[in-house]
Amino acid sequence: MGFLRLRLVLLSLLLLAVMALGGCATVAPPDAGELSEIEAGRKVLLLLRLVPRAGGEMLEPFAQNLAADNMGIGVGSFETGGQVEQVESIRFFSEESRAQGWTWLTAPPGTLYLSFLPPRRTDAFTYAGMFKQAPLWRVTPGSGSRIVYAGTMVIDGDATSFTFGGRYLKNYKNMEVRDERDAARALIDRHMPGAGPMETILMQQHKGPIILTTTGN
């Protein structure tokens, strides 16, 4: 019986290790294909920063795997009919920018809708559906947009602890968009030298019916 229990413990540890290594996150600037889409105007690189806080203290927004992340992100566009869908692979320029809450994604130009959730504490299907009910934030890159900084989202709430250490937000009490365009520009210059101009189009909270526009080529 003792040997069986030992095998079960080892199996559990192995599964935890696989989960930790299997997180859907990429630490790298856009690849050649993505850059081609951006330069051609078929995609926009959207840069934003997420700052979860509890008691005024910033919590780690993105960990090494999605099971321990503080933030979930959803995006809706003309291509999705305005329906917000969970971003399965969260992108970062570097480990340093990940720790600071900076993330980027590519999306078609036109009206984009963003939503943010606390970390998943339910099954994946239910969590994905929750993005459709979360508050919406809207940003609309124009036809000439290539790189857009959408703002820094500061989210205050109550914190609780992960089972294996660290804290995360269990709810959102207040959400505020701040302008840190100088830091955003420095990040682009560091990781995408020669990428060209960066626009600042701060996301705004959206209420009412979904409005879809597209400026894609």
Tell me whether residue 160 is in a domain: yes
Question: How many structural domains is the chain composed of?
Answer: 1
Tell me whether residue 156 is in a domain: yes
Do 38 and 148 form a contact (C-beta atoms < 8 A)? no
User: Is pLDDT larger for residue 189 or for residue 14?
Assistant: 189
State how beta strands 136-139 and 112-117 pair.
antiparallel
Q: How far apart are CA 131 and CA 147, in angstroms?
A: 25
* Residue recorded with tokens 């809207």: 138
- Rank 75-79, 82-86, 92-96 by mean pLDDT and report only the highest: 92-96
Tell me whether residue 161 is in a domain: yes
Residue 166 has pLDDT above 90, yes or no: no
- In this prediction, residue 82 carries a pLDDT of 82
Q: What is the CATH number of the domain that holds 122?
A: 2.60.40.10
Tell me whether residue 9 is in a domain: no
Tell me whether residue 101 is in a domain: yes
Q: How far apart are CA 141 and CA 184, in angstroms?
A: 16
- Three-state DSSP state, 32: helix
Q: How sure is the predictor about 10, in pLDDT bands with cuts at 50, 70 and 90?
A: very low
Residue 183 has pLDDT above 50, yes or no: yes
Phi and psi angles of residue 198, each rounded to the nearest 5 degrees, phi first:
-120, 130
Q: How sure is the predictor about 12, in pLDDT bands with cuts at 50, 70 and 90?
A: very low
Enclosing domain of residue 66: 25-206
pTM score: 0.82
Residue 17 has pLDDT above 80, yes or no: no
Tell me whether residue 99 is in a domain: yes
Please, what sign has the CA dihedral across residues 159, 165, 166, 169? negative
